[in-house]
Amino acid sequence: MKSSGLKTVAVLLFALVLLGSIWLGMAQGDRQWQQVQSLRAELKSVAQQLGRVQQSLESQGRQLRQVMDDGPIVAPRANSAANPAAGAGSSRGRGGRDASWARPDQPIVWTSESLLATDPSTLAGFAEGGQMVVVLEGQPPILTPYRYADTYGRYVNEDVVEGLGRYNPATLEMDCLLAEGYQMDPAGLWLRVKIRDEARFSDGLPVTGEDVRYTYFDIIWNMEIQADRFRGVYNSFAEIKVLSERVIEFVFKEPRFDNKVQALLMPIVPKHFFSRFTPTQINQSTGLMVGSGPFMLAEVDSSNQWTPPSDIVLVRNNNYWGPRPALDSIRYKVVTDAIARLTTFTNQNADMIRPTAAQFANKAEDPEFVKVASALRWYNVQGGWSFICWQNGPRAGGKLTPFADRRVRTAMTHLIDRERLQRDIYKNLARPATGPFNTETPQANPSIKPLPYDMTRAAELLTEAGWVDRNGDGVRENEAGERFTFQLTYPTGNESTLQMVTYVKDQCARVGIACELAPIDWSLLASLLDRRDFDAITFAWSASTPESDPTQLWSIKSIEGTGDNFAQWRSEAADALITKGRRTIDDGERMKVWHQLHQIWHDDQPYTPLVEQPWLRLIDKRIGNVNTYKYGLEVSEMFIGGPAEKAP
C-alpha cells in the first residue's frame, strides 16, 4: 500500500517537472497566453493531487505503524467518541489502540473517526486552492492568544490555535481534537489526556504536555500578563501533571460542572515560541498568533508584527496534522460602514459579510441577488444578545453614575419599547432578550419575561430615586442639583445600532434625561471597558460554549483588573449562586441554580437586554460546503468552486 503510494508520488513529480519544462519553453518562445493559462491550471491540479496523495500516505503510515504495534485497527462504530473502551487492566483500547497511558480502572473516551463534520472532498465541484475573503464589521486590535478582547479576535484565533478538544459543530457533543483520548474521574477531580502522536504546531514541532502546562500556568495565570478576562474562564486547575511527552493529567481544585470543558477547550500555545518573550512584550504584542490549527498567519515576525488596520491573512498550514483544508488562504478585511460592506460584497470583492437586518431582509427577497449569493439566517450557540450596559459602579474609578441605583436602571429598561426595536430596526429577524443566558439553552429561566414598555412606570421610578425637574428646565436633577445627563457609548459602523441609540436618546428626553451619544471605533472599545470609562455602553455578547460559566461576566471578582464585569455589578446573592452552580454536577439541579441567578439578574437590571440576534450572513455561491451548524460556521471546511480570486 505504501509502495504503491510512493510510485504515484514519483509519477506525479515527473509530471510536474515535465509540465514545468514545457511551460518554460512556451514562455521563452512567447507562445499564446491561453496555452500558458491552461498549463498553469494543469500544474495546479497536479499539485492538488500531490497534496491528497501526501495526506493519504501520512494516514497509511500511521495505520501501518499502528498495525505493527498493536494489531489490526477495527473500524469504529458511529458516534464512537461517546463510547468508552479499554477496561480495567487492559493496555489495548478500541480497535487495537495503545491504552498503556491510561489509568487501568477507568474507561477511555477515544477520538472520533473523522474530524470533519462534513467532508468537502466528497461534494460535487470540490476543488483546492484560492483565497476566501471575509469582511469583519469591527477592527480587532489584538490577535495574540489570551490577549485579544473581542469576538473578532476569537473568530480569527479559532482556525489557528487549537485545544485538546472541541464541540462538534453539528451535534454540540464534546469531541477530541489534539487529544487522541481522555479519561474523566467519576468524582470530577482529575482528567487524563493522551495527545495525538501526529499533533504538531505550524512550525513542525510537536504539541507536548509541557505546552499544555505552560499555557495555563505561564501564560493565563502569569499575573504579569494582561489576561484577566481569560483568568475568569480558565481557573479550575490545581495542577497539570506532565506524565510523559504526550500524556498529561489535570488535577482540579474541586468537582465542578465545567472542569472537563475547561481542560479540553483551553487553546494550547507553543512554549518554544512564547517563552522567548517577556510578559511586557506579550502585553504589547498585536500579532503573535501561533498554534497548531489548519491555518496560520502568513507571516509571524516579532519585530514586524501584524498590526491594525492591515488585512489579516491566514494561509494554509502545510504542517497541519489533521485534514488538509481546501482553501489556500483566508483574508479578513475590516469595513466598519454597513453600506460600504454591502457594496464590497455586491461588487464581488468579498465572499462573506454580516449584513444589517434591513440589508438582509432586502437581499433575501431579491431574486437576482439570490442567484449569486446565499442569504443565511439561523440561531446557534454563538448567536449574540444585544444590550445596554449601565455603569453600576464608579466611572473610571471616580464618581458614581446615576445607574448605581437599581431603580434608575429599571426605569431605563421601561423606557425602551423593545417590540418596536424588533419590528422597526431588526425587521422581525430577532427576538426579545431577557437576560444573561441564551434562550436556546436550558440555562435561561423560561418563566422570565421582558420588562414591559411603560413610560409612566419609568417616570415614577426616577422620581422615587430622587431625580426630579427642580428648576423647570426640562431636565431632572438630584437633591444636590446635579442634572441627569449621561453618555451612551456605541461602536460605529452599524446602521441598526445608530438607529437604536438615536431612539433611546429621544426616549430619554421625553422623561427629562439628557442623553449624549458617544460613538467609538471598535478597536478602542476594549481599552475603554478595561478602564470602566463609560456611563452606558451598547454592543452584544456572543457565547462560545453551549453552557456558559457566569463567573466571567457577573462575579464580583471579575470586576478586578480588566475582568469582564466592567458593569461593576456587585451582588453577593448572585456570587453565592454562581459558586453553588459551578459545584453542582447534576445537570437538572444546576439549571435550577442558573434559573435563580437569572431571576436576581432580571430584578437588578445591570444591563437592559435588547434582542437575541440570529446569525445573518450573505455568502457568495462560489463558496462550497457552507453549513449552518449548531455551533456556527466552519470556514476550514469550505472550498471555492468558482473563480479562484477576489480583488484584494
pLDDT given at position 114: 85
Q: Residue 380: which of 179, 578, 51, 632 has the closest Cα?
A: 632
Q: Residue 150: which of 596, 619, 528 has the closest Cα?
A: 528
CATH topology classification for 384-612: Dipeptide-binding Protein; domain 3 (3.10.105)
Strands 131-136 and 431-432, how do they pair? unpaired
Q: Which DSSP state fits 401?
A: P
- Phi/psi of residue 642, each to 5°? -120, -150
Query: Strand order in 373-378's β-sheet?
Result: 295-297, 312-316, 329-334, 131-136, 352-353, 615-620, 373-378
Residue 222 and residue 282 in contact, taking contact as beta carbons nearer than 8 Å: no
Q: Residue 393: which of 532, 525, 601 has the closest Cα?
A: 532
pLDDT given at position 73: 26
pLDDT given at position 647: 56
Contacts of 150 (CB under 8 A, 6+ apart): 138, 140, 141, 522, 525, 526
Half-sphere exposure of 579 (CA within 13 A, CB side): 8
Distances (CA, A) of 63 to 75, 97, 548: 12, 10, 38
Class of domain 282-380+617-640: alpha beta
Q: Would you list the domain boundaries of the chain?
A: 1-73, 77-113+162-281, 282-380+617-640, 384-612
CA 582, CA 486: separation in Å to the nearest integer?
A: 36
CA 70, CA 217: separation in Å to the nearest integer?
A: 35
pLDDT given at position 644: 55
- Phi/psi of residue 378, each to 5°? -160, 150
Q: What is the largest CA-CA distance in the chain?
A: 93
Answer whether CATH 3.90.76.10 is correct for domain 77-113+162-281: yes
User: 282-380+617-640 and 384-612 share one CATH topology?
Assistant: no
Distances (CA, A) of 371 to 203, 357, 365, 413, 626: 42, 20, 11, 42, 16
What single letter denotes the amino acid at residue 630? K
pLDDT averaged over 10-residue windows placed end to end, the chain, 648 residues: 42 46 46 46 46 45 39 29 34 69 96 91 95 96 95 95 96 95 96 98 98 98 95 95 98 96 97 98 97 95 92 97 97 95 97 96 96 96 92 96 98 97 93 90 94 98 98 97 98 91 98 98 93 97 90 95 96 98 95 98 98 95 96 96 65
pLDDT given at position 52: 45
pLDDT given at position 645: 61
> At 611, which helix (H) or strand (E)?
strand 607-612
Q: Which DSSP state fits 121?
A: G
For helices 406-415 and 455-464, the axis angle rounded to 10 degrees is 160
Strands 179-184 and 109-110, how do they pair? antiparallel
What is the value of pTM for the model shown? Answer: 0.80
